[in-house]
Copies of this chain bind each other. A is one copy, B any other.
Amino acid sequence: MKDTADRADWAELLICRTCRRGGEVCADGRRPGEVLHEALSGQALPEGLTLRAVECLQNCEGGCTVALRGADRWTYVYGNLHEADHAEMLADGAARYLATPDGLIPWRERPDHFKKNCIARIPPLEAAK
């Protein structure tokens, strides 16, 4: 699988499936993070993007939470996502992320939600270049 993870046209969208948005659960008893993952699974996603449900990104007060990452790219963590409103925006943002060589989407091209709800970012592993 190493080749896949090293590919420049590959990125991952991690969705915290345990996110509860301050304790809330959805009407059907599921966690909002799980529903967001399902909503994204039904969304048209850009080629090269892998969707991955993860257990906890530890932004518990500011969920739902996702992270975008890829080889030689900046990793971004975004919070305050809503399972009913943000699947399409996330698919669009992931496509813009994939369209860059380093994960740095030009400011004006970023979805508004990305501009206002970035929890943290982490630079690429330069030592691995």
Q: Which residues of A contact B (CB under 8 A)?
A: 1-2, 4-6, 12, 14, 50, 54-59, 65, 67, 69, 75, 77, 118-123, 125, 127-129
Contacts and interface: CB of A to CB of B under 8 A. Distances in A.
Given A1-B129, A5-B127, A12-B127, 4 more contacts: A1-B127, A2-B127, A54-B123, A122-B122
Residue among A5, A75, A127, A128 with the highest chain B CB neighbour number at 10 A: A127
Contact of A119 (B69, B75, B119): B119
What is the interface of chain A mostly: helix, strand, loop, or mixed? mixed
Contacts of A121: 56-58
A57 B122 CA distance: 6
B77 A127 contact: no
Contacts of A14: 122-123
B4 A127 contact: yes
6 contacts: A6-B128, A57-B121, A69-B122, A69-B125, A75-B122, A122-B122
A6 B127 CA distance: 9
A9 B63 CA distance: 33
Given A75-B75, A129-B1, A122 B6 contact: no
Contacts of A75: 75, 122
Contact of A50 (B4, B50, B58, B127): B127
